[in-house]
């Protein structure tokens, strides 16, 4: 299991950009097609921008057409947590970093094979490391 990371908003504010803070700590959403990774095709690893937890790899990234980085499988289910999100009158599954609680995005059941899942993730929640 991963060690938990607990920091106050003031600490996070010092380490993150205003947009990263708004998305990861306040459950914000970046505007579609504006993030740094939706159109990134390089091989590598996507880590949590807050704590460096391994979340996704380029091998499971796919073109969803949504304007957000989309993946059909995380590196490990243990690295993410799913929780019900009923805001905005919708019934969605929010995904957060299991280590620091950062809001990442949502997971939907309309993804490609083999999982059929679509992890729709904010670029602002991710830090890409080239392989
Ligand atoms: Zn994290």
Whether 100 is catalytic is no
The pLDDT tens digits of the residues spanning 61-100 come to 999 999 999 999 999 999 999 999 999 899 999 999 999 9
pTM attached to this predicted model: 0.95
Report how far ligand 1's centroid is from the alpha carbon of 124 (Å): 12
Q: What is the CA radius of gyration of the chain?
A: 14
The Cα–Cα gap between 62 and 69 comes to: 8
Question: Would you tell me how many other CB atoms lie within 10 Å of the CB of residue 81?
Answer: 14
Does the structure show a pLDDT above 60 at 1? no
Across all residues in the chain, what is the average pLDDT? 96
Report how far ligand 1's centroid is from the alpha carbon of 70 (Å): 18
Report how far ligand 1's centroid is from the alpha carbon of 98 (Å): 7
State the first-to-last Cα distance of the chain, in angstroms, to the nearest integer: 24
Does the structure show a pLDDT above 90 at 3? no
Mean pLDDT of 4-18: 96
């Amino acid at each position: 299991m991963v060690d938990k990371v607990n920091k106050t908003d003031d600490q996070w504010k010092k380490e993150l950009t205003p947009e990263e803070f708004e998305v990861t700590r306040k459950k914000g959403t970046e505007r579609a097609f504006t993030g740094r990774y939706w159109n990134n095709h390089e091989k590598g690893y996507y880590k949590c921008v807050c704590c460096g937890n391994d979340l996704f790899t380029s091998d499971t990234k796919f073109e969803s057409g949504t304007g957000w980085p989309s993946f059909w499988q995380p590196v490990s289910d243990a690295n993410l947590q799913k929780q019900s999100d009923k805001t905005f009158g919708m019934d969605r599954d929010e995904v957060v970093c299991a280590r620091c609680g950062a809001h990442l995005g949502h997971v939907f059941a309309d993804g490609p094979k083999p999982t059929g899942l679509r992890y729709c993730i904010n670029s602002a929640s991710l830090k890409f490391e080239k392989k």
